[in-house]
Amino acid sequence: MDHPSVAAARRTARGAALLPAVLALVAGCTAGLGGSVGTPGAAGVRDPYFPRLGNGGYDVTHYDLALDVDATAERLSATAVITARATQDLSAFHLDLTGLEVRSVNVEGRPAAVNRAGSELTLRPDRAVADRLRTGRTFRTVVRYTGAPRTVTDADGSREGWLRTADGAVALGEPAGSMAWFPGNHHPGDKAAYDVRVTVPEGRSAVSNGELVSRRTSGGRTAFHWRVREPMASYLATVAVGRYAVRRTVTEDGLPVITAVDPAVAAASAGVPDRIAEIVAWGEKRFGPYPFSSAGAVVGRRGDAGYALETQNRPFFPGPPDTGLLVHELAHQWFGDSVTPASWRDMWLNEGFATYAEWLWSEDHDGVPVEESFGKAYADDANWAFPASRPPGAADLSRPPVYGRGAMVVHRIRQEMDDDEAFFGLVRGWLSAHRHGNASTADFTAYADRVSGADLAEVWEHWLDGGSRPAGG
């Protein structure tokens, strides 16, 4: 049965005199049926760069993804069970999904009507279910889907989504590629826990985020079950399928370090687990407690991707990482993965701090003073192409000002504070205040203004937001 929405009722009501009568009719007939007055959730959350990314009206608490991957890692057959809490009374809601074939969708155990347009999947549950999708209620959506997941080309030409490799595939999702392998609320503002189950031909490994819960082989196929307990933004989710050598070591503090290394780069990657342990211990001294229940890395071959990515717990590297890159991606576990940008405009909070971590590491280990790294960044024209807080477009999110200028902003705060203990206290306090959450540039500047005891107006005006290179670096 089709009911006119309030908006439709408004369109049909030509005169003001008619409107109350129509509303009374709508109210009367919905009341008679148990009374859902829900409205559709929005198709996006108005991210400044990706207005249709994410969806309104609900908040995902958990994804259970079960992927059956074929021998070539070209096709998958999958089920996503999405547990979410309604943040408004819902008559319908969206999921983000690109490519793939949706076989069936049910909400709260009942089939739902599905409509697809671009990367928007609109789900319209039946009346009885919609009546239950009230603000604050938790509901379950099951999407069965199949097909060959796509490689997505970003605005800046880089490739993400599902990337085929020599003996498998790797899924990378910054900023919007995760919708190529599972349906969901793909804006960084909606973090959730995950269970990821991947079944692959025997002899292959499937690695994901979090910790391995179980591995079972039967009938020539192996099922790997990974669990992420701490909240994770969907752009940080990964699956890597291949002939990886998977190793589990433990740091002195008892933190599991799980690495998956492509045999083709095994020799050059031999030191990776020990270096991770060392960098995590160093990071804890600088930034406070490591935010997750395991660490690690996935090391593929050069060419598997065009960049490294800070996938949660386990950054991905296309080839053996040098120490600087390892430091950068591990620093992201604090800056980006634990404290996640509220929108893609806040990207400098990720890259500025991860770059600053590299400068700190070089000072502590290679005798390169932070002042020297700062001076180099200051002298580099590429860092001044635009304000760190305002990349002109989606293609600019990974350009130098977001990294180098972002790091200079961090260092300028330190200079204005002129007290290293207080400065690192501010950084740790910031991470602790937003641990496992989201934060914006405005949150950061307000926090620093409040806690630094320094006047940072000039830092924000000229170094963060200004149009050109300030004098006196």
Footprint of Zn ion (CB under 5 A): 351, 354
Q: State the first-to-last Cα distance of the chain, in angstroms, to the nearest integer.
A: 68
Minimum Å gap between C-beta 50 and ligand TRP is: 11
Q: Give DSSP secondary structure letters for 99-135.
A: SSEEEEEEETTEE-EEEEETTEEEEE--HHHHTT--T
> What, of Zn ion, ligand TRP, none, does residue 283 touch, CB below 5 to 8 Å by kind?
none
> Beta-carbon neighbour count of residue 207 at 10 Å?
27
Minimum Å gap between C-beta 312 and Zn ion is: 13
Q: For residues 402 and 354, is the Cβ–Cβ distance under 8 A?
A: no
**CB closer to ligand TRP, 312 vs 398:** 398
Minimum Å gap between C-beta 305 and ligand TRP is: 8
Q: Which of 288, 331, 319 is CA-nearest to residue 435?
A: 288
Peptide bond into 175 cis (omega under 30): yes
> Beta-carbon neighbour count of residue 90 at 10 Å?
28
**CB closer to ligand TRP, 67 vs 163:** 163
CA angle 96, 100, 104 (to 5 degrees): 80
Which of these ranges, 26-34, 139-147, 306-314, 454-462, lies near ligand TRP under the rule CB under 6 A?
Answer: 306-314
Q: Which of 79, 66, 100 is CA-nearest to residue 221?
A: 66
- For residue 154, give the 3-state DSSP assignment: coil
Decide if residue 155 touches ligand TRP (CB under 6 A): no
Number of residues engaging ligand TRP in binding (CB under 6 A): 12
> H or E element: which one contains 9?
helix 6-12
Decide if residue 279 touches ligand TRP (CB under 6 A): no
- According to CB under 6 A, which one of 47, 108, 174, 211 is a site residue for ligand TRP? 174
Minimum Å gap between C-beta 175 and ligand TRP is: 5
CA distance 19 to 245: 68
Minimum Å gap between C-beta 347 and ligand TRP is: 6
Decide if residue 397 touches ligand TRP (CB under 6 A): yes
- According to CB under 6 A, which one of 175, 231, 391, 406 is a site residue for ligand TRP? 175
Main-chain dihedrals φ then ψ at residue 277, nearest 5 degrees? -60, -40
**CB closer to Zn ion, 224 vs 292:** 292
**CB closer to Zn ion, 162 vs 353:** 353
**CB closer to ligand TRP, 159 vs 469:** 159
Q: For residues 438 and 188, is the Cβ–Cβ distance under 8 A?
A: yes
> What, of ligand TRP, Zn ion, none, does residue 165 touch, CB below 5 to 8 Å by kind?
none
The two structure tokens encoding residue 171: 């899924």
19: which residues sit within 8 A by CB, 6+ positions away? Answer: 9, 10, 13
Q: Name which of residues 308 to 367 contact ligand TRP (CB under 6 A).
A: 308-310, 328-329, 351
**CB closer to ligand TRP, 208 vs 311:** 311
Minimum Å gap between C-beta 83 and ligand TRP is: 28
Minimum Å gap between C-beta 359 and ligand TRP is: 15
Residues in contact with ligand TRP by CB under 6 A are 158, 174-175, 307-310, 328-329, 351, 397-398
